Each structure stands twice: as structure tokens, then as C-alpha cells.
Structure 1
Amino acid sequence: MNILEGKISLKGDEKVAIVASRFNHLITDRLIEGAKDSFLRHNGNEKHLDLILVPGAYELPFVLDRVLANKGYDGICTLGAIIRGGTPHFDYVSAEATKGIANATLKYTTPVSFGVLTTDSIDQAIERAGSKAGNKGFEAMNALIELINLYKKLS
């Protein structure tokens, strides 16, 4: 049986963007740090890493679609943090951000990873942004690197 899978290693010439939400920056700043750490640890060249900041998670799909349409990147890592509050706002934002990112990803041939946290509390978000549950930004970049390599094998 032939197994096709991507490796978590870059050559150093891949151009990658992180599209991240500024809202809940206490959390998203840590996710961005984790994603950058993964990129550099796996042979990425910092000159080829761009950070694109958007106001909130709801805006991620719109900017992602525009970035994908320009075809200037080998891969894009989306990051954000949506934390449940006392209103239904969480449900609307998380659903639309998730669907929008998925829809934009399906329109283009560029790999995209999903690193948007949807948590019930600030404590859960902190746990996923670098404390006891690891850093989901790091994990999202790992997934993106693997996808970049897998897409190359599938083309």
C-alpha cells in the first residue's frame, strides 16, 4: 500500500501567512507566538512569514478569501479566540468564522489550517494558548506545514 502524507519540515523558501484576529489579544498573541515558533523550528525563513491582523474572528474569512485570491502564499494559518459570554454572540461568531474559513479554503488550492479557539471560558483559552493544554497556534502551524508538503505530493 502506498501511503501519502506530509512531513512537518520546510525547505526555507515557502511563503506563509498567519491571518489572526486581534480580538482577545491576550490569547491570540500567544497563539501567534506558538505558530511563529513552529514555523522557525521546522526550517521556515522568518523573511517568508507574514502576519496579517484582522479586527476579530468574524473578519477572518473575508481577509482569508482575499489573501487566497492573490495566490501569494504556499499556505495560510488562521488564528483567533472566541470565548463564550453571556449572550448568543459567541454562537453566531464561532459558526460564521468556522463556515467562512472552510468555504474560502474550498475555493482555492492553497493549504489553510484552522487555529481558531472556541472556548467556554477565559481559563480554557489560556490553557490552549500555551499552558497545560499546549499551544494550539503551534499545532495549527504544524498542521499547515504538513498540508503544504502533502499538497505538493498530490499535485
Structure 2
Amino acid sequence: MAEDITGSLVPGDHRVAIAVARFNEFITEHLLTAAVATWAQLGGSDENLTVARVPGSFELPVTAKHLAASGDYAAVICLGCVIRGETDHYDHVVEQTAKGIREVGTETGVPCIFGVLTCDTLEQAIHRAGAKMGNQGRSAMMAAVEMADLVERLRG
């Protein structure tokens, strides 16, 4: 039988950082609240959780890079909300933010979790921040904890 390596949802002594955008703060604060509550529910300690606030989603990758490169964190979560407007600005912000977050994880080996809502309308954002469709902040924290444990297991 093949070896099966899976991460657990136990924070243990892992440290996790959350970079959260202030733009669309009425949405991102709901994401952050859910992420922090999930951390506590999973048994994570307050001392092992760091929150860094950035102006907008476009600034998430550079902040994630500093956090990941510090060697202090087993995972970095990026929380933001980009809502489509009447120009193509949305497309540029979403594409570059996603690419940047992916690159940070690939370059540093530290899991960087994409918790950025990309929505066509404010109503969609509200639903994905906890009103109807779960909460992306909760999902991002669960992914971060699982990936931190998985990477530790892979490193032996």
C-alpha cells in the first residue's frame, strides 16, 4: 500500500500569521473574526497568532513574503475582498494578488493561503463572509493549520 501523508487540524506549537486588507473592511473584518475564532476552536494559542493589516488586497503578497521569509510562521493567510467595479481594475488586482500569493508560497516553502474574496457584487461578498455560504476566513484558517502540519510531516 502507498504511503498516505495527511495534515491534521491541530495547531500544536505552530505559529500562523494573517495578513488582512483594510479595503472593504466591512467584509474583511468578518473574515478575520472567523479566522481568529477558528484558530481558538482548533486549540491555537493567542501567542502563536499574528495579524498584520495592509491597505488593500494588492499589498497582501509583499506582506506575506516578509512574514513567510521571517521563518517565524508555519503558514500565512491572506484575507481580502475585491469587488468588481465598472472598470478592468478588478481583473488586474485579482490576477496580481493571486499570482503574488502563490509565488510567496512557492518561493519560501511556507504555505500561503489565498483567502481573498473575488466577487461580482457586494451581496456575493456578504454571503461569502458568513451570511449564507460559510466564511472564507474560517476555511482559510483550516487550510493553514492543515498545511502547516502537512509541511512539517513532509520535512520529517
TM score, norm. by length of structure 1:
0.96
The one-letter amino acid paired with 2:9 is I
Aligned to 2:149: 149
Aligned to 1:4: 5
Flag as ranges the 4+ runs of structure 1 deviating above 4 A.
none
Counterpart mapping for 1:52-71 below 5 A: 52-71=52-71
In 2, distance between residues paired with 1:68 and 1:49? 13
CA contact (8 A) 2:64 2:101 kept: yes
Q: Secondary structure at the match of 2:62?
A: helix
Aligned to 1:80: 80
In 2, distance between residues paired with 1:110 and 1:104? 8
Cα shift at 1:84 = 0.4
- Is 1:39 aligned to residue 39 of structure 2? yes
CA contact (8 A) 2:64 2:112 kept: no
The one-letter amino acid paired with 2:10 is S
- Is 1:106 aligned to residue 116 of structure 2? no
RMSD value over aligned CA atoms? 0.9
In 1, distance between residues paired with 2:39 and 2:102? 22
Q: Secondary structure at the match of 1:38?
A: helix
How many residue pairs match? The answer is 154
- The one-character-per-residue Cα deviations of 1:88-111 (angstroms, maximum 9, x if unpaired) are 110010001001111111111212
Unaligned runs of 5+ residues in structure 2 are none
Q: Secondary structure at the match of 1:43?
A: coil
CA contact (8 A) 2:113 2:143 kept: yes
Counterpart mapping for 1:93-132 below 5 A: 93-132=93-132
The one-letter amino acid paired with 1:43 is G
Give the share of equivalent positions with the same residue, in percent: 37
Q: Secondary structure at the match of 2:130?
A: strand
- The one-character-per-residue Cα deviations of 1:51-85 (angstroms, maximum 9, x if unpaired) are 10010001111111121121111211111000001
In 1, distance between residues paired with 2:148 and 2:30? 23
Counterpart mapping for 1:14-29 below 5 A: 14-29=14-29
